[in-house]
Amino acid sequence: MPPLGLYVHVPFCAAICDYCNFTRGLLDAGLKRRYVEAVRREVGGAGTGRAADTIYFGGGTPSVLEPGEVAAVIDACRRAFAVDAAAEITLEANPESVTVERLAAYRDAGVNRLSFGVQSFRDEELRRLGRVHDAARARGAVAEARRAGFDNVSLDLMLWLPGQSVPDLDDSLEALVGLEPEHASLYLLEIYAGSPLDAAVARAGWSRVPEDGAADMYIHAMERLEAAGYRQYEISNVARPGRESRHNAKYWMDGEWLGFGPAAHSTLGGVRWNNVPATAEYVRRVEAGESAVGSRRALSPRERLEEALFMELRLADGIRLERIRRTYGVDVWKEWGSKLARFEDAGLLEHDDTRLRLTRPGMLLANDVMITFLEAGSTVK
Ligand code: SF4
């Protein structure tokens, strides 16, 4: 059996960003202490002794956890699972919450990969997003990570920000390239109706480039990073060779993982379950010895196939057709080729005997291609 990925959701943030749509809340020291104990208990109760080769602290803002708290959760994982000595252990961090001493202590705790939520290297844009840090702090955090001994650092950047032009984006791209992270994630900002950012955009009259412009920004950014030696390996992710996210690969490549903490979801043996989203309720349940699971269901073979196709299509290498044939008994091109041909004709998709993959312009329209897998009939139920 391939090794599991272990995900730990940390639902606390020091401040709430104006665009945020994640499961998180403002830091509450008392609740955080109880949360850490609850996660340790949940991990211990899930222990199968099965091999695991990634641990990922995502959030929220995992760097609000003290290094000792991170060490305690990693220790619980090591007791409950056969965690590989060379496991990838990632901590998402916000630049304002770290110092070189704190980062060194995370490293001593076992963390070997940092993912910084930088979002932009322009102070004006960071203010608009409601971020607490400025560009200088982001640069400082990366320098501190290096001094603390981290050789695997990822930076998140957001594109298509209110009021952002292509030259503005270039400022952030140049700054990112200059810091030489091993990995970067690029997201087009979604502005949710009713979010503080949505209201601020309306109030201030900030304009956004039209959707076509957003597509140009995305392609421009990917080309700039490629010129700097990064390889785009997924719709939103680039890496130096060998520095692709091993944890996220489990989501994209039909792997299995267990999630701990509020709102965390798990997929194992064709069953998917989600923990309850509210932190207080999660903690209460675990303290009372009750299950933290809010919903659980077995995926049908058809759902498993669809999910495998959706997720692998996100990868630059695309869907491994022979693997799908072996695992699900389906010839993808035979089933959907007649519907997919129009995407190929439009230069959005390409395929040969081994792979079916999106071209870079096609990555922006991935959802349209994915819908095709839902429309047409495979014999898999
Ligand atoms: S730090 Fe991340 S999770 Fe927390 S409020 Fe900001 S965007 Fe949301």
* Residue range 140-179, pLDDT digits in tens: 999 999 999 999 999 999 999 998 999 999 999 999 999 9
How many angstroms separate the CA atoms of 354 and 337, rounded? Answer: 14
Nearest atom (ligand 1) to Cα of 59? 3
pLDDT at 381: 62
CA of 71 to the centre of ligand 1 (A): 23
Which of the four pLDDT bands, split at 50, 70 and 90, describes residue 377?
low
Task: Find out whether the beta carbon of 63 lies less than 6 Å from any atom of ligand 1.
Answer: no
| 20 Cβ inside 6 Å of ligand 1 | yes
Residues 314-325: what's their mean pLDDT?
96
What is the CB neighbour count within 10 angstroms for residue 68? 11
* Overall average pLDDT of the 7-33 stretch: 92
For residues 208 and 215, what is the distance between their CA atoms, to the nearest angstrom? Answer: 12
Please state, rounded to an integer, the average pLDDT across all residues of the chain: 94
Query: pLDDT value at position 379?
Result: 61
With a 6 Å cutoff on the Cβ, whether 145 touches ligand 1 is: no
What's the confidence (pLDDT) of residue 378?
Answer: 58
Q: Is 93 in the pocket of ligand 1 (CB under 6 A)?
A: no
pLDDT digit string, tens, across residues 296-306: 999 999 999 99
Distances (CA, A) of 6 to 31, 53, 81, 105, 333: 22, 8, 9, 21, 34
